[in-house]
Structure 1
C-alpha cells in the first residue's frame, strides 16, 4: 500500500506525484555577506512553487501544483554595488537604473504576494476526516482553480487472504495523507497505459473552493465501467465539472473475476464489486460534508456498467444510499449483460485457463485462485471475453443463497424495479445513437473481416450470444431468425461496410436502447420522476484506430461532460465550437438536475416534460429540442415482439425448430407486401418452419371465429328486424 507520506525531492526538484516541476532559472548567487540580516532572513523564509517556462507535451493543462511548500530558491542581493549591477531593490538606485530596478522590485513584490497566498493555501487545504487528515493539490481549469484530493483509500487493500473477499473499511492514518495522485486501477484487461494493482480501492474528490462553512455544493458521484470487465475513473478527471460549482467524487471498484466471480455459495458469493461501491458510498455519506458538499443534494451518475450498478443500488429493498437523484447514461440493470445467469460456467472456464484442473467446489477454486499471480488471472479473463460466449462474462448474480441481510441482488432486475423501487427519487436516463460501437473496441478484428466471415460471426456467434443474454435459452430459434432477418440479413451480398453497421445496430438496439427505454417505462410506472435524453452528436472516433465508424459513439458523452481535460486524454486536441456547445449543455443539464431534480439544457431551452407512458418525451442533446416516442418501432421489436414470439413458440407443443440459418443473397427488405398502406415483411418458412405454420394456423382460426361471430350477429339483427316489422303490420 502506498505510504501516506509524499516528500519533496532533492536537488531543487519538487516531486509532485508523477510530475516533477523545477524552479525557474535564477542568476548565479552572489556572496551573501553584504545582504542585510533582515532581508536575508526574509529571503530564507520565502518559498515559491513555479513550473518551468516550457511545459512538456505529456503534461496536460490539468497538471497539478502541490499545495505543500517545497524547499525555496534563495533571492539574491548584490555583493558590491560599485563593481556589479544592482541585483535587488535594496540598493538606492541611480537615475539610469530606475526602470530596471523598478521592474525587479515589482517582481519581488509579486513573488512575496504569491508566497503569502501559497502559505495560506497550504495551511487551509488540510481537511480533517475520521480516517485522518488529507491534503490535496491544485488543478487549473480554463476558468478557475480547483482543489483535488486524489487516491484516498476507503477500504483495506484486497490482497492476500482478502482477495475474493468482501471489502473492509480502511482503518485510517496517523499523519497527514498527501492526496496528490490517482490510485492504481484495479486489475483488468484491454486498458493499456494504466498503472494497475490489487491495492486499488481508492477514491477522488474535486471541490470548487476550500470549505469555509458559508456554502454547500451539490455532489456528483461518478460510477463508470464497461460490461463489468473494465473500469478506470482516472480517465475522467473531475476538475472541469467541479468548475461548474459542483463537488465531484469518483472511485475504483473491483471488476471482472476479481469483483464478480461467483460459485453461488458463501465461499465465493460474488457481487464484490457492488459491495465495494456500497462501502465507497458510505464513505461519501460520512465525509463529503467535510469537503463542503450538501448531503441533501447527492446525485449518483452512472455510465454503462456503472449505470447498471447504480440501478442495483436504487432498487435494493434495503438501500439507503446517500443519493437523492440518479443519472443513468448508456446502461441500466435491465440490460442483458448486467446479470450473470450461469456464474459457475464462467468460474469453471476461468479455472481451466488457469490450470486449476477439475473444480470440485468453491473452496478448491478459491485456494487455486489465491495462489495465482494477478497477471495470470487478468490474461485468463481477457481470453474468456475474446471467446465471445455470454456465459463466460462475469457480472452481478442474484444472491438468494445468502441470508437476507447479506444479499446485494435479492431479485431479478425486472422484478426488482417492479417490486422494490421503494425510493421515489428523480431519475434521468440517457443514451447515445451508436452505443453498439463499444463492441468494436472489444472485438477489434471486426474491422478487418471479410463479408463471409462477418456473416458467419453474426449468425453463429453474435445472434446466439444476444439471444442467450436476453434469457431466451438455447432453443429460441424463432427469436434468432427474427434477429437475423431484422439486422445482418439486411446487408446485400458483398456489402461489408453495411454489414458492419447492421452488427453495430443490433448490438446498440438489443443491449442498450431497448433496456434503457424499458427502464424509463418501468420507473415512470412506479411513480419515479423520470426524464430521458438522447445524444445524436457525431463525435470523433473515441476508440482511435480500432474503428472508423462515426456517430454518437458509446462513451463520447462522458468525454464531453468531463472536457476539456478528459477530451484531451482521448484525442490530444481542443474542442471544436460545436463540441464546446455540447459540453456546456451537458454540464448545465447535470448541474440543474443535481441542484433541483429537474433537468434543462439551457436557460432558453424548451420545457422538458417528464417521460410517461402516455407522453414518452425526450430531449435531444444536439439540438436542444424536445421530442416524443424515440424509435418506437425498434424498441417495440425488442421489448414486445420478440418476447411474444418466444412465448408463442414455447407454447406450441409440436414445435421442433432447429437452426434456420440460410445465407441470404438478396436484400430481405424487398420481400414485403402492402397491407393497409403499410409495408409488412413476409417471412418465408423453410422445411423446418413448423412454428411459423402453427402461428399462421392459429391466426387463421382466430380470424374465422371472429368472422363467424360477425356473421351470426348480422343474421340475428336482420331476423330481429323482420320480426319487429311483422309485428307492426299485424297491429
Structure 2
C-alpha cells in the first residue's frame, strides 16, 4: 500500500515536471540585440497573441542620467522575463507606485506568426499635459487581434521629462527624446517580433498626439514612421507654442533651493522631493501653467530636436509629409462636473457667475489673447455659453462641458488640421466621435470616446466594470476597422 502511494506521488511529480517543461517551451521567446526575452501567450476571444511586458528600450535614467538624454541599454545575460508591466514614470499624486525613475519600458502585443508575413506596427504614446498618465491604461489586445503589432511606450514626464533652463545640462524635451529613442529601438527590433519596419504608424492620444505632431516636425525622425494618428491633441495650441516652461523651471529651482550647482543639486534630490516641489508650485498657480516641450534652438544645431515651432513647420511644409489621421472624441467624464453641480445646488446664478468670473478668464489666459481683444472675446463667450436661463441648470452644465471641449480639444485640433493639410502632399483624414453616453467610474478628462472605442471591450472593464452594449460594440468595430485600414493602406 505504501509502495503504491509512493509510485502515485512519483507519477504526479513526473507529470507536473513534464507539464511545467512543456509550458515553458511554449512561451514565446524573441532574440534581440540586447539578449533573449520571454513573454507570454494570451488567448483572447478574438485570437491568440504573444505579449511582452516591461521590455527596456533604454538604460534606467538614474543618478547622472537624470535629466539626460536616454542612453543605450547594455542588455542582459540569460533570458529576460517580459511578463509584468512596469510602474509608470514619476508623477503626481505622490504615492510609492509613482516614484520609480526606472521607467523606460515598452509593452508589446503581437499576433502569432508562423510564416514570413510581416505585420504592420503601431506605436502608442499617451499622457496628459505631459505631466501624468491617463487613468485609462492603453491596452493593445483587440488591435493586435486584427493583425497588428501594438507597442505602448512610457516616457519621462513633468519635472523629469520637460524641465528646461536653456542649457545643455537641462535642455528640456527629454520626454520627447525618450520617445524618439523608443522609435529607434522599434525600427531596429520589431522585425524580430514579425513586424514590418517599413510600415510603422505612430498613434498619439492627448499629450501623445501633441508629441507625435512634434516628431513630424523634427529633422531626426526621417524614415522612423510612415503614418500618424493624432487623437485629441495638438502641437499648435497656443498653450503649447507659447508656454512658460523656462519660467516654471526657474521657480522649481528656487523651491528646491538649488540656485547654486543647480544640476548637481537637482540630481541629489530624491524623487519625492522633486514631486513635492512640483506639487507646491502646482497648488500656487493657475493649472494652465505646465512644463511642456519647447523649441530648443538655444542648443548647437546637431543637438536640437525641435529647431522650429510646429506652427512654422506645418505652415512652411517642412514637416514629414505622410498619411495622417486626425480625430477628436468627447471626454467621457469631466472631473469638474461635480463642482459645477455643487455650485448649481446653491443657485443658478452661482454657476453662471463661475462661468463668467472663473472659467472664461481661465480660457482667455490659456489662449494668450492680446489685451486689446480680451473684452470682445469675453463678451462673445458669455453670449455663446452662459447668457440664458434654463429651468434646472442642466443646460448650463452641458454648455460648460461644450465650452471645455471646443476650447481645449476641438478648436486646436482643427487649427492643426488646417495647417497640415495646406502644404501636405499626402492625404489627411479626419474623424469625430460625438458624446454617446458611455458611463465611466473613472474621473479623468483624458478618457475620450474615441480612445475607449479604439481599445474595444477591454476598455469597458477598466472604466465601468461592465460589457459594451450592442451599440457600443458596433461603434467600436467600425472605428477599429477604420483605424486598421488606415494603418495598413494609408
**TM-score, reference length from structure 1:** 0.61
1:31 corresponding residue in structure 2: 5
**Matching of residue 46 in structure 1 with residue 18 in structure 2:** yes
Q: Compare relative contact order (CA 8 Å, sep 6+) and give the higher one, 1 or 2.
A: 2
Give the secondary-structure state (helix, strand or coil) at the position aligned to 2:42. strand
1:674-720 CA deviation, whole Å, 9 max, x = no partner?
xxxxxxxxxxxxxxxxxxxxxxxxxxxxxxxxxxxxxxxxxxxxxxx
Deviates more, 1:174-183 or 1:369-378: 369-378
**Matching of residue 239 in structure 1 with residue 213 in structure 2:** no
1:85-164 equivalent positions in 2, closer than 5 A: 115=22, 118=23, 120-122=25-27, 125-164=28-67
In structure 2, do the counterparts of structure 1 residues 257 and 478 end up closer, same or farther at CA, with 3 Å as the change threshold?
same
Tell me which of 483, 487, 490 is aligned to 1:594: 487
1:245-265 CA deviation, whole Å, 9 max, x = no partner?
111001100111211111223
2:83 corresponding residue in structure 1: 180
1:529 corresponding residue in structure 2: 427
Q: What is the CA–CA distance in structure 1 between the aligned matches of 2:488 and 2:171, rounded to whole Å?
A: 38
1:538 corresponding residue in structure 2: 436
2:132 corresponding residue in structure 1: 230
Deviates more, 1:184-193 or 1:417-426: 184-193
In structure 2, do the counterparts of structure 1 residues 256 and 457 end up closer, same or farther at CA, with 3 Å as the change threshold?
farther
1:169-224 CA deviation, whole Å, 9 max, x = no partner?
211112110100111101112598966511111011111114x4521111111111
Q: What is the CA–CA distance in structure 2 between the aligned matches of 1:183 and 1:385, rounded to whole Å?
A: 27
Give the secondary-structure state (helix, strand or coil) at the position aligned to 2:219. coil
Q: What is the CA–CA distance in structure 1 between the aligned matches of 2:309 and 2:395, rounded to whole Å?
A: 36
**Matching of residue 300 in structure 1 with residue 198 in structure 2:** no
Cα deviation, residue 411, structure 1: 1.5
Give the secondary-structure state (helix, strand or coil) at the position aligned to 2:190. helix
Give the secondary-structure state (helix, strand or coil) at the position aligned to 2:430. strand
Tell me which of 455, 466, 469 is aligned to 1:573: 466
1:335-383 CA deviation, whole Å, 9 max, x = no partner?
234345222322244345xx435x757x43x344333332333344345
Q: What is the CA–CA distance in structure 1 between the aligned matches of 2:244 and 2:196, rounded to whole Å?
A: 41
In structure 2, do the counterparts of structure 1 residues 558 and 493 end up closer, same or farther at CA, with 3 Å as the change threshold?
closer
1:334-483 equivalent positions in 2, closer than 5 A: 334-339=236-241, 341-351=243-253, 355-357=255-257, 360=259, 363-364=261-262, 366-385=263-282, 389=286, 392-432=289-329, 434-435=330-331, 440-441=334-335, 445-450=339-344, 451=348, 454-473=351-370, 476-483=373-380
**Is contact 1:302-1:329 (8 Å) kept?**
yes
Q: What is the CA–CA distance in structure 2 between the aligned matches of 1:202 and 1:334, rounded to whole Å?
A: 28
Q: What is the CA–CA distance in structure 2 between the aligned matches of 1:193 and 1:492, rounded to whole Å?
A: 47
Q: What is the CA–CA distance in structure 2 between the aligned matches of 1:472 and 1:397, rounded to whole Å?
A: 20
1:669-680 equivalent positions in 2, closer than 5 A: none
**Matching of residue 500 in structure 1 with residue 397 in structure 2:** yes
Give the secondary-structure state (helix, strand or coil) at the position aligned to 2:6. coil
Tell me which of 472, 475, 478 is aligned to 1:582: 475
2:109 corresponding residue in structure 1: 206
**Is contact 1:341-1:391 (8 Å) kept?**
no
**Matching of residue 558 in structure 1 with residue 451 in structure 2:** yes
**Is contact 1:217-1:293 (8 Å) kept?**
yes
Q: What is the CA–CA distance in structure 1 between the aligned matches of 2:304 and 2:223, rounded to whole Å?
A: 15
Greater helix fraction, Structure 1 or Structure 2: 2
Give the secondary-structure state (helix, strand or coil) at the position aligned to 1:259. helix
Tell me which of 501, 509, 512 is aligned to 2:406: 509
**Is contact 1:560-1:567 (8 Å) kept?**
no
The structure with the larger Rg is 1
Cα deviation, residue 454, structure 1: 4.2
Q: What is the CA–CA distance in structure 1 between the aligned matches of 2:217 and 2:482, rounded to whole Å?
A: 24
Could you list the runs of 5+ residues in structure 2 that have no partner in the other structure? none
Deviates more, 1:298-307 or 1:334-343: 334-343
Give the secondary-structure state (helix, strand or coil) at the position aligned to 2:386. helix
Q: What is the CA–CA distance in structure 1 between the aligned matches of 2:304 and 2:394, rounded to whole Å?
A: 46
Could you list the runs of 5+ residues in structure 1 that have no partner in the other structure? 1-27, 49-68, 70-114, 548-552, 598-731
Cα deviation, residue 44, structure 1: 6.5
Structure 1 vs Structure 2 CA RMSD: 3.1
2:381 corresponding residue in structure 1: 484
**Is contact 1:463-1:480 (8 Å) kept?**
no
**Is contact 1:224-1:303 (8 Å) kept?**
yes
In structure 2, do the counterparts of structure 1 residues 383 and 582 end up closer, same or farther at CA, with 3 Å as the change threshold?
farther
Tell me which of 187, 197, 203 is aligned to 2:100: 197
Cα deviation, residue 503, structure 1: 2.7
**Is contact 1:182-1:204 (8 Å) kept?**
yes
Q: What is the CA–CA distance in structure 1 between the aligned matches of 2:204 and 2:369, rounded to whole Å?
A: 27
Cα deviation, residue 161, structure 1: 2.3
Cα deviation, residue 529, structure 1: 0.7
Q: What is the CA–CA distance in structure 2 between the aligned matches of 1:221 and 1:412, rounded to whole Å?
A: 24
Give the secondary-structure state (helix, strand or coil) at the position aligned to 1:220. strand
